[in-house]
Amino acid sequence: MFISVKKTVYFLALAVFLTACGGAPKTSEEAGDVKQASVESQMYVVDLENSVINWEGAKITQTVHHGIVKLSEGNFHIKDGELEAANFVIDMNSIEDHDLTEETGKYKLEGHLKSADFFQVEDYPVARLEITDVQQADEDSDATHIIKGNLTIKDITNGITFPAMVTMAENMLEAAARFEINRNEWGVIWGGTKTDQSIKDMLQNNLIKDLIVFEVNLIAHSE
């Protein structure tokens, strides 16, 4: 059956509109006061070479992209054997895609993610995660801690909460966590902002799922 281009565009726009109306769940919270390390605490410095942050994003067509972004600095503060404070700086210029090759658009995607359409790294070269609260997880949990923190991307700071596995042995600390954010809440929007979006930008933006998944695996050593 023949379907006109006009009808195809109409149905695409309708699908995008319905997807946008469904919306992704809110993932941010009110930012809190950053926990300050006490003088008595011991600092563990993140091993930048052996630590990694994995990311995953997808289109509503189920096309999934994944890769890494690197830390430029990070540290944990331990007092009496317990995690007291932590803060991390993320190098947004280090965004890499790992599912594509040069021939299939790897560098094009990386450039686009760094552009003003998304993370705008020329103006916002770093993101930050600063811990605001640390609680012990339930005994039957797969995590050791429930962590609250302030996540800053593009100079927008929101609070987030996530479970984490933190273990220590001798002079080494390992931490692993997984969390999701709704990119719209940090201004990661195709076209810059909702108010500046053209119709084309809106359609493109709504073809991308709102949730970005981060998996963090960190190794740190005591000074």
- Note the pLDDT of residue 189: 86
Cβ-count burial 138-169 (b if 16+ within 10 Å, e if not): eeeeebbbbbbbbbbbbeeebebebbbbbebe
Indicate the number of domains in the chain: 1
Is 55 inside a domain boundary? yes
Query: For residue 58, what are its two tokens?
Result: 């997808």
Give the model confidence (pLDDT) of 8-61 as tens digits: 343 344 444 444 444 568 999 999 999 999 999 999 999 999 999 999 998 777
pLDDT value at 4 more than 50: no
Q: What is the pTM of this model?
A: 0.84
Is 59 inside a domain boundary? yes
Average pLDDT over residues 153-165: 98
Please give the residue range of the domain that contains residue 162.
25-222
Query: Which CATH number belongs to the domain containing residue 115 in this structure?
Result: 2.40.128.110
Is 37 inside a domain boundary? yes
Is 196 inside a domain boundary? yes
Is 10 inside a domain boundary? no
Is 209 inside a domain boundary? yes
Closest to 190 (Cα-Cα) out of 31, 63, 20, 10: 20
Is 54 inside a domain boundary? yes
Give the model confidence (pLDDT) of 173-220 as tens digits: 999 999 999 999 999 986 655 555 555 555 454 457 899 999 999 999
Q: How far apart are CA 13 and CA 202, in angstroms?
A: 10
pLDDT value at 153 more than 90: yes
Closest to 192 (Cα-Cα) out of 202, 180, 182: 202
Give the model confidence (pLDDT) of 69-94 as tens digits: 999 999 999 999 999 999 999 999 99
Determine the angle formed by the axes of helices 199-206 and 5-22, rounding to 10 degrees: 60
Report the amino acid identity of residue 41. Answer: S
Is 5 inside a domain boundary? no
